[in-house]
């Protein structure tokens, strides 16, 4: 399956998806570590995709989002941001309401 289709399916069939380097248990990059730590701190359930395991996904996710870096957080199919944006939203109490399913 082409990477774009794989990515599209992942973000549309899971509510919160984090494309990261490494895993939440063993992050391979400080920025990925920060975002997964924030999600864990907020007790948010999420699917973590380790881009280091798949070069096509690693490049494909940058094309998909028109965004040059990883980590990338998706909520309800929408690209929310990378580490800088997620931290800013967390600091401004904007992140938690976004992660909480409505209703």
Partner 1 sequence: MSINNQQITDLIIQSLPDAEVAVHCFSGDDHFEVEVISPSFEGKNRVAQHQMVYAALGDNMRQAIHALALTTRTPSSIKET
Q: Count CB atoms within 10 A of the CB of residue 94.
A: 13
Identify the residue among 75, 89, 95, 99 touching partner 1 (CB under 8 A): 89
Shortest distance in whole angstroms from residue 1 CB to partner 1: 26
- The H-or-E segment that residue 3 falls in is helix 3-13
* Among positions 19, 46, 64, 79, the unique one binding partner 1 when judged by CB under 8 A: 79
Q: Write the DSSP symbol of residue 1.
A: -
Nearest distance from C-beta of residue 79 to partner 1, angstroms: 6
Q: What's the 3-state SS for 29-69?
A: CHHHHHHHHHHHHCCCCCEEEEHHHCHHHHHHHHHHHCCCC
**81 forms part of the interface with partner 1 (CB under 8 A):** yes
Query: Is 74 an interacting residue with respect to partner 1 (CB under 8 A)?
Result: no
Q: Would you give the binding string for partner 1 spanning residues 50-69, x where CB under 8 A is met?
A: ---------------xxxxx
Q: Which residues sit opposite 74 in a β-bridge?
A: 17, 79
Q: Counting contacts by CB under 8 A, is residue 84 touching partner 1?
A: yes
Which residues lie near partner 1 (CB under 8 A)?
Answer: 65-69, 79-82, 84-85, 88-89
């Amino acid at each position: 399956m082409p990477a774009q289709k794989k990515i599209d399916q992942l973000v549309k069939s899971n509510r919160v998806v984090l494309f990261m380097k490494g895993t939440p248990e063993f992050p391979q990059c400080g920025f990925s570590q920060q975002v997964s730590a924030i999600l864990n701190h907020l007790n948010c359930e999420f699917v973590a995709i380790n881009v280091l395991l798949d070069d096509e996904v690693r490049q494909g996710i940058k094309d998909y989002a028109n965004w040059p870096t990883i980590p990338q957080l998706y909520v309800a199919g929408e690209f929310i941001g990378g580490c800088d944006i997620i931290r800013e939203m967390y600091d401004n109490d904007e992140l938690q309401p976004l992660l909480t399913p409505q209703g």
